[in-house]
Amino acid sequence: MRTVRTEVLSALVVAFALIPESIAFSVITGVDPSVGLTTSFTMAVVISIAGGRPAMISAATGAISLVVAPIAREYGFGHLVAAVILGGLFQIVLGSLGVAKLMRFVPRSVMAGFLNGLGILIFLAQLPNLVNVPWQVYPLFAAGLVLIILFPAVTKAIPAPLVSIAVLTAFTIAAGISVPTVGDKGALPSALPTPGIPDVPFTVDTFALLAPYALAFAVVGLLESLMTARVVDDITDTHSNKKREAVGQGIANVVTGFFGGMGGCAMIGQTLINVKTGGARTRLSTFLAGAFLIVLCIVFRPIVSGIPMAVLVSVMVLVAVTTFDWNSIAPATLRHTPIGETAAMVLTVGVVVATHNLAIGVVAGTLISMVVFARRVAHKVDVTAATSEDNSQVVYAIKGELFFASSNDLMYQFDYPNDPGKVVIDLSEARIWDASSVAALRTIATKYATRGKQVEITGVPAG
């Protein structure tokens, strides 16, 4: 019973937090606010059934909004919906092919950068609600922070953010305080969404036009969702089914598209509210977050429209603070972290903040980590030479990993002019990883051959 109560209350907090975010992403995309809200509803409900990470929240997101906004602007709403459906189909295909396994190549430093960049973005997104506003906003904002921080000392049975929203909204309405509210962000939906077919010509030309956008949509959505799933795995000490999550994201987007939505993916800010702040752990909270969202918008529209934005901003600011991985920038941590790993984390944060796109930041951070790793391993190849007593042959023993980054330096480890007539290259303690290494060994043999010297390669690893 306690578990059900936790899931229900946590989902209610998430539903409140989803409303302004969904409206904001609708504005970014260039569509009616009700589109973002119904998108969050369908995404959350479908992913609660089809997804592979219980308690993770999927909804309309900023990253997806940035991808689909050009379609809505240049080709219209019908093409946007068609792109969402096609992007969902791409996600189903990619998920079925096992693209989720690539997440193992994302280093821990990039994960830290992902969280730190996200924390900064969440915080920056709240600033417009605190600038050029009536002075009453600031006491409300401060009161929201105090309630959320101190109320758990009274009881943890009810989530502190929910108490803050209820108490301060009631106070604002009763006192007649005029401050920006949720209703000022845009109109809430007045009815449940209905399914339909995108109003586009079903031709090869339409497919060719939308395919690049849909592929970008699929990749960005999967990357952000799988990264979020990994964060939740760490928080809950449980393992999620990444393949099912990837396919589930595709199913949710296909359904959302047919209901006239703008597409979405995992939403880490609201997921952290659900998992970390609310303590939710099951699919029930994800389902109820979507269900409560649409009920709040349709049934309790006048009340929800009156919620002060300052209260929701206080919730999101504390989410930003708890999202940031403070341990990653602690002096003790930095002293023991290789400079290359720190550079990857900083680059990830920088790109995320500069582009407002988590996926681009993760890709950039992972690439720099790979370069750093390759550079480090490339210098771990040892070449030792031993000449026979009669100076008739020399044996070069190679130890280490041979691949494209190390094979170039390998060619300069041999004394081609002065070595005796027979040269033995011993690879018994080396590992050949790619064609670059094979080509380097062939070049070495050729250099000796042009000088009339015989080369014998021994200890070649099998396979």
Does 380 have pLDDT greater than 80?
A: no
Backbone dihedral angles phi then psi of residue 27, each to the nearest 5 degrees? -65, -45
Average pLDDT over residues 118-133: 86
C-alpha 224/C-alpha 91 separation (Å) is 12
Flag whether pLDDT at 381 surpasses 90.
Answer: no
Residues 402-415, mean pLDDT to the nearest whole number: 84
Q: Look-up: residue for tokens 């990749």?
A: 219
CA distance 70 to 174: 43
Given a cut of 80, whether residue 65 has pLDDT beyond it is: yes
Checking if the pLDDT of 52 tops 60, the result is: yes
293: enclosing H helix or E strand: helix 283-298
Give the Cα separation of 216 and 239 in Å (integer).
27
Q: Please give the distance of CA 246 from its chain centroid, rounded to a whole number.
A: 13
Quote the pTM value.
0.74
Of residues 305 and 448, which shows the higher confidence score? 448
Measured over the CA atoms of residue 66, residue 70, residue 76 and residue 78, the dihedral's sign is negative
DSSP tag of 324: S
Q: Which of 207, 208, 261 is nearest to 65 (CA)?
A: 261
pLDDT greater than 60 at residue 463: no
Q: Which of 249, 291, 289, 296 is nearest to 273 (CA)?
A: 289
Q: How confident is the model at residue 444 (pLDDT cuts 50, 70, 90)?
A: very high
| Residue with the two structure tokens 């407002």 | 356
How much is the pLDDT for 462? Answer: 57
Share of the chain above pLDDT 70, in %: 98
Rounded-to-integer distance, Cα 149 and Cα 419, Å: 74
Q: What is the pLDDT of residue 198?
A: 93
For residue range 333-363, what is the model confidence (pLDDT) as tens digits?
A: 888 888 888 999 999 999 988 987 777 888 8
- Report residue 457: phi and psi, to 5°: -105, 120
Give SS3 for 188: coil
Separation in Å, CA 449 to CA 40, 168, 422: 68, 85, 10
Instruction: Dig out the tokens for 84 from the structure.
Output: 């969402």
113-to-227, 324, 331, 349, 362 alpha-carbon distances in Å: 12, 9, 16, 5, 8
Mean pLDDT across 405-424: 88
- Residue 400 φ/ψ, nearest 5 degrees: 135, -170
Residue 435 has what DSSP assignment? H
**Per-residue confidence at 301, pLDDT binned at 50, 70, 90?**
confident
